[in-house]
Amino acid sequence: MKTGALIFAQNNSSIDYVKMATFAAKRLQQYLNIPVSIATNSKDWLLQSQPDHPFDEIIEIVDPSTDNYRRFNDGSLFSKVMDWKNYNRSTVYELSPYDTTLVIDSDYIINSDFLLPLLRKDDDLQIFKNSVDISGWRSTEEYNRINPYSIDFYWATVFIFKKNKLTDTFFKLITYIKENWNYFVTLYNITSPVYRNDFAFSIAIHIMNGNMSGDFATPIAGNISFVTDRDILISIKDDSMQFLIEKQNYLGEYTVAKTTGIDVHVMNKSSLNRFIDGGTGV
């Protein structure tokens, strides 16, 4: 049985996801020592810009015809609306060359071997349900349920699945949800029409559980740690990361925070790109 990781990287007009995926893959190999493949719309750019890439396989994907846009922040004072190419996650079952697959976002930075023993478990699907915001002061209620009165929220940022009939059905269901997104937005009273993998995964898990609480998906123990795109990555050294965390009630002011030995979801992709380019994200 072959085990490996897969990272999706679809460049848009401003953000180099291929660069982030290459950086994330090297750290994943460093701490987990498993092969990593990439699914990308930018194979030529990968080969040109990252000649020392660590990828086991380069899987070409095409951009969907549907446009999806969202606002990206770069700290608390600057933001920009950009295209958001996140429609291909539901195809991971057919794309993955592995029997057991760890999927991470390109902005999920590995600093530990926390995920390694999970790859040896027999669960069909393992996924984060609980989370912690490194700021310590922001409300995380939006990550508890997909709306305050609806179903449990699951993070599509990191998950592990085994290929079998059950997970095949699960990912086909996500594709169906994606193709009928407007219907599910209304059914689950989702406030934004923008397609989100987190919401689609949460809805699919709910359906797989018979539209009630159940045990189809195994929650990964502990929390997924994250900083929002209103925070700024300063540096990464060994297993430590430093951030400027926005201050509560003080727009444009920040507090320095440091993590050590903790995997972190860095939502500010612009600062992560700057760090990879020059060693500082500021």
The tens digit of pLDDT for each residue in 85-121 reads 677 899 999 999 999 999 999 999 999 999 999 999 9
- Which of 3-12, 165-174, 205-214 is modeled with the greatest confidence? 165-174
DSSP bridge partners of 132: 225
User: What confidence tier does 281 reach under pLDDT thresholds 50, 70, 90?
Assistant: low
Q: Which helix (H) or strand (E) holds 199?
A: helix 197-208
Q: Taking Cα atoms as reference points, which of 10, 263, 247, 248 lies closest to residue 118? A: 263
| DSSP conformation class of 162 | E
Q: Taking Cα atoms as reference points, which of 153, 101, 103 lies closest to residue 131? A: 153
Q: Structure pTM?
A: 0.95
**Is the pLDDT score of 243 beyond 70?**
yes
Concatenate the DSSP letters of all residues of 10-60 into one string: ---SS--HHHHHHHHHHHHHHHH---EEEEES-HHHHHHH-TT---S-EEE
Over range 164-180, report the average pLDDT.
Answer: 97
**Is the pLDDT score of 11 beyond 90?**
no
Give the percent of the chain with pLDDT over 90. Answer: 82
Q: Which SS3 state, helix, strand or coil, does residue 233 take?
A: strand
Give the domains, in start order, of the chain with CATH numbers.
3-60+84-223 (3.90.550.10)
Q: Which amino acid is at 24?
A: A
User: What confidence tier does 74 reach under pLDDT thresholds 50, 70, 90?
Assistant: confident
Output the pLDDT for position 58: 97
Between CA 264 and CA 266 the distance in angstroms is 6
In angstroms, what is the C-alpha Rg of the chain? 18
User: What confidence tier does 66 reach under pLDDT thresholds 50, 70, 90?
Assistant: low
Output the pLDDT for position 67: 67
